[in-house]
Amino acid sequence: MQPVGRRHYRDLRLEMSDSAPTTVRNDWSIAEVTELFQLPFHELLFRAHSVHRRHFDPAEVQVSTLMSIKTGGCPEDCGYCSQSVHHSTGLAASALAPVEEVIRTARAARDRGATRFCMGAAYRNPKPSQIGKIAEMIRGVHELGMETCATLGMLSADQAETLREAGLDYYNHNLDTSAAYYPQITSTRSYADRLDTLKTVRDAGMKVCCGGIIGLGEAEQDRVELLHTLATLAQHPDSVPINQLVQVEGTPLAAALQTSSQSVDSLAFVRVIAVARILMPASRVRLSAGRTEMSDELQALCFFAGANSIFYGDCLLTTPNPATDRDRSLLDRLGMRPEAHAS
Ligand code: SAM
Ligand code: DTB
Ligand code: SF4
């Protein structure tokens, strides 16, 4: 038997990806997305991995670090969120962080190998007085040579323009679930509001980071519809974060799911990653929140299915993320590496 050396590996890579389509489509039908979800598991993974290899080096993972620049006290009522004023999660609200602290945190993240820095604020929308300070943070992080991302809730066209001019590369704004299930999750804003902000961000010339959460008690049809909505936007989101719900004590969703003993089927989660990869072949699919609950084997399967981005650093916004040492060791054991320069 031939040893599996580098050459053999490359040949295999070509062979596997040969039949995978290279085109990026925005005209997927619900029936097509449903069919993908219903494929036998290994057939779906084979297709997703083949598409993945056509567009990306399967050994590379993009790494982003998150910082909560304004924690808690949010007027929205998202049923999963630790930061809503409507829930008693015991989280203390804080003011907008000082600019120097944000830049210092970004520099430390860069020195640990992160190429993108994402600043999150518990806002429904930023106020004019806050935008100036956030623009300063963005300028500072941009000057460190990192990609910049922010997630601040709804934006006006003027605000989007100001942020872009300050050097904002990506704006994160998730759809979370299907339009049909959305009112069960959040009542203080509509799906149309979310879509409007996504358009505002694109119109301002920024890249879009938009995905959802699995484990909200949604049906498979909601997962189909969420991915269908993302994959039929005029332009696919450049990054697609797939979060597994982090059940936070004191949120209505954690209470409801614990009462009904519902948890996410990990193979169903991998299917979501795989279908996202096939539908949006050139986008970064991020294995986002929820990794502390996942085994190394499950994460490996997610990477095989097409995930090629993670949040890196011990903390997400208010909940834990795997320790950086553990992530480094996982990537090493898988023969994977953090992407050196963001694409
Ligand atoms: N307030 C802004 C907004 O909602 O767009 C930005 C911050 S918000 C915390 C960013 C995203 O984090 C949410 O859209 C949601 O998808 C995700 N998220 C929040 N809490 C989560 C949880 N407990 N588990 C998984 N994802 C969560
Ligand atoms: C995204 O999709 N997930 C991140 C980021 N975008 C902003 C946030 C995850 C938050 C998880 C819960 C918390 O730490 O509060
Ligand atoms: Fe506020 Fe964002 Fe949390 Fe919703 S997800 S409550 S908008 S911080």
pLDDT of residue 3: 40
pLDDT of residue 338: 94
pTM of the model: 0.94
Report pLDDT digits (tens) over 38-58.
999 999 999 999 999 999 999
Please give the average per-residue pLDDT across 112-139, as a whole number: 96
Spatial distance between the Cα atoms of 10 and 140, rounded to a whole number of angstroms:
41
Selection from 329, 277, 282 nearest residue 304 by Cα: 277
- The residue annotated as part of the active site, out of 116, 118, 210, 277, is 118
**How many residues are there in the chain?**
343
Selection from 98, 97, 94 nearest residue 73 by Cα: 94
pLDDT of 13 above 70: no
DSSP state of 315: B
Pocket of ligand 3 (CB under 6 A): 74, 76, 78, 81, 83-84, 122, 153
Report pLDDT digits (tens) over 97-112.
999 999 999 999 999 9
pLDDT of 5 above 60: no
pLDDT of residue 253: 95
Rounding to the nearest 10 degrees, give the CA dihedral for residues 201, 204, 209, 210. 30
Selection from 58, 64, 39, 6 nearest residue 304 by Cα: 58
Please give the average per-residue pLDDT across 218-228, as a whole number: 98
* Buried residues in 164-201 as b, exposed as e (16+ CB within 10 A): bebbbbbbbbbbbbbbebbebbbeebebebbbebbebb
Catalytic site residue 315?
A: no
pLDDT of residue 20: 63
> Closest ligand 3 atom to the C-alpha of 77?
6
- The separation between CA 157 and the C-alpha centre of its own chain, rounded to angstroms, equals 23
Distance 292 CA to ligand 2 centre (A): 13
pLDDT of 259 above 90: no
Give residue 40's identity as a one-letter amino acid code. P
Spatial distance between the Cα atoms of 241 and 252, rounded to a whole number of angstroms:
23
- Joined tokens for residue 294: 């996942």
Spatial distance between the Cα atoms of 122 and 130, rounded to a whole number of angstroms:
12
Domain boundaries 25-337, corresponding CATH code: 3.20.20.70
Spatial distance between the Cα atoms of 300 and 334, rounded to a whole number of angstroms:
7
pLDDT of 161 above 70: yes
328 band by pLDDT with thresholds 50, 70 and 90: very high
Residue pair 65/109 in contact (Cβ under 8 Å)? The answer is yes
Please give the average per-residue pLDDT across 120-134, as a whole number: 96
Q: Is 18 exposed, middle or buried (0-12, 13-18, 19+ CB in 10 A)?
A: exposed
Please give the average per-residue pLDDT across 284-312, as a whole number: 98
